[in-house]
Structure 1
């Protein structure tokens, strides 16, 4: 993922409302949101180049979402960061045991943030400092810095969550995630990629020549633990390429017909 905003344990919004956009090169192959054939109670999109994912949830309520940490034109790690998402979601480690594993192994990956845990007990791991923190109730953001860094795109997306009294519907959420408003000169971060690229990457929804927003995601977790996960796929020039929606209820996996 490249921008995430979420309301966590907020009145009227259930356990979790999460909005996210995944940005990637258009040429990199990926499968949209679906049940994984090799982990049949697990939902997520899949990177078909390296085999990992950017966001997943399973029938036990285990969840993970990944963002990169941007510091200049970063080099690839020995291993793909996307493998961390299914590694946690399909595994059995508790968040603290998984954080110990991350501390021992994070150097094999390019810098990253991992939001993970149970949908009602979330943690954040930041690889640059090998730090874990339990997420507190409230409105939070995560982009390509660290948790709650006030970037233009993150704050603009989070503003839609502030004051909500009910979980948003798909059309409402996907409208927020399609916002292509760029930051002004004084609102840009300095991550070492130059002002022109900072501006291109500053909107919630990115439309570059070779790189841009590939998927928008809405995750709602009700007070009783029902999980609703929706994804809108995007093609070149910001063209909608399909929608998918799935539901997981505690103790009951539902596999709807594929569109």
Structure 2
């Protein structure tokens, strides 16, 4: 279970940011992973890496400063397919290529249909107005989104969970409060508070149907299920100014993870686009 919120500020003359993306990665605490950073084989790509055996070093979120795109994968809980293909390379292959999303999806469609269900969130930020699209292999739908504030999680993109609706409002409050680059530190602090929100967002019939045993624990933006050793273990923030300055921040729980008293490691990367 993961979640992502986006703000597209190109048409907001008062805001100095072109794009803001914030995301939580929810995963088992003991699953090995590499923290956000430039990749050895291509320093223009920034992302974490899944080090679980059999996952081929794939990733859940990555961005390419060369191809000017971000990819993020969200799980769709449902029936697991027999001998399902790994989803670990979906984001990696997308950000490494110069293909637009529709062409990439066409080239991978047969492979996608052999994977367990997912939503791919894709952002192409080289345009004056960033292009935000989603593709899900559940109903094979590719859609472009034009809203200023967007949110996606572990449901079909046009059927948002209650916590997604709540998180979009929190993001809007933060973006309205801190619009200038000089206020970036305060903005980052506010965005981290959004990602750390443990407020329950119920009722949510869809979440209860998809995850009936733990829907209460999953109803908050920040997830913590100590008995299952599962929860939010990384926050990612991407800020892109209208002058082309990109700031990537990741806060990750340091292993071995104690969910009740976690130690957080922060990574900061600044790039001119």
TM-score, normalised to structure 2's length? 0.83
User: SS at 1:190's partner residue?
Assistant: helix
Structure 1 residue 13: Cα displacement: 5.2
Between the aligned partners of 2:222 and 2:72, the Cα distance in structure 1 is 18
Equivalent position of 2:131 in the other structure: 121
Cα deviation for residue 159 of structure 1 reads: 1.0
Residue 154 of structure 1: which of 164, 173, 178 is its match? 164
Where do 5+ consecutive residues of structure 1 fail to align? Answer: 251-259
Are 2:112 and 1:93 aligned? no
Distance 1:225 1:77, change over 3 A: farther
Mean CA deviation greater in 123-132 or 3-12: 3-12
- 1:150 is displaced (CA, Å) by 3.3
Aligned pairs (5 A) from 1:216-255 = 216-234=235-253, 235-237=257-259, 239-250=262-273
What's the secondary structure of 1:199's corresponding residue? coil
In the alignment, what sits opposite 1:198? 215
Which segment drifts farther, 81-90 or 94-103?
94-103
Give me the whole-angstrom Cα distance separating, in 1, the residues matched to 2:241 and 2:215.
36
- Give the distance between the partners of 1:75 and 1:65, measured in 2 at CA: 22
TM-superposed CA distance for 1:108, in Å, is 2.1
Greater Cα shift, 47-56 or 5-14: 5-14
Q: Structure 2: how far apart are the matches of 1:22 and 1:76?
A: 25
- Cα distance in 1, alignment partners of residues 82 and 5 from structure 2: 26
Q: SS in structure 2 opposite 1:144? A: coil
- Distance, in Å, in 1 between the alignment partners of 2:152 and 2:37 is 24
Which residue, 66, 69, 75 being the options, matches 1:62? 69
1:121 positional shift:
2.0
Going from structure 1 to structure 2, the CA distance change for 1:159 and 1:148 (only over 3 Å counts) comes to farther
Flag the 1:156–1:236 CA change in 2: closer, same or farther, 3 A.
farther
Q: Deviations 1:47-101 (Å, cap 9, x if unpaired)? A: 11121111111122121111111236x4576322231111010112222210212
4+ residue segments displaced more than 4 Å: 185-188
- The reply on whether 1:6 has 2:6 as its aligned counterpart is yes
- TM-score for the superposition, normalised by structure 1: 0.87
Deviation at 1:135, TM superposition (A): 2.1
User: Secondary structure at the residue paired with 1:203?
Assistant: coil
Superposition CA RMSD, Å: 2.1
Structure 1 CA distance, aligned partners of 2:158 and 2:171? Answer: 14
Unpaired segments ≥5 residues, structure 2? none
The number of equivalent residue pairs is: 248
Residues 165-215 of structure 1, C-alpha deviations (whole Å, 9 max, x = no match): 316632221111111122334666233431x41111111111112111010
Once the two structures are TM-superposed, the CA of residue 153 in structure 1 deviates from its matched residue by 1.8
Q: Deviations over 1:199-246 (max 9, x none)?
A: 111111111121110101111111233221111112331513201111
CA contact (8 A) 1:55 1:85 kept: yes
Does residue 183 of structure 1 match 2:193?
no
Q: 2:242 is paired with a residue of what secondary structure?
A: coil
2:86 aligned with 1:80 = yes
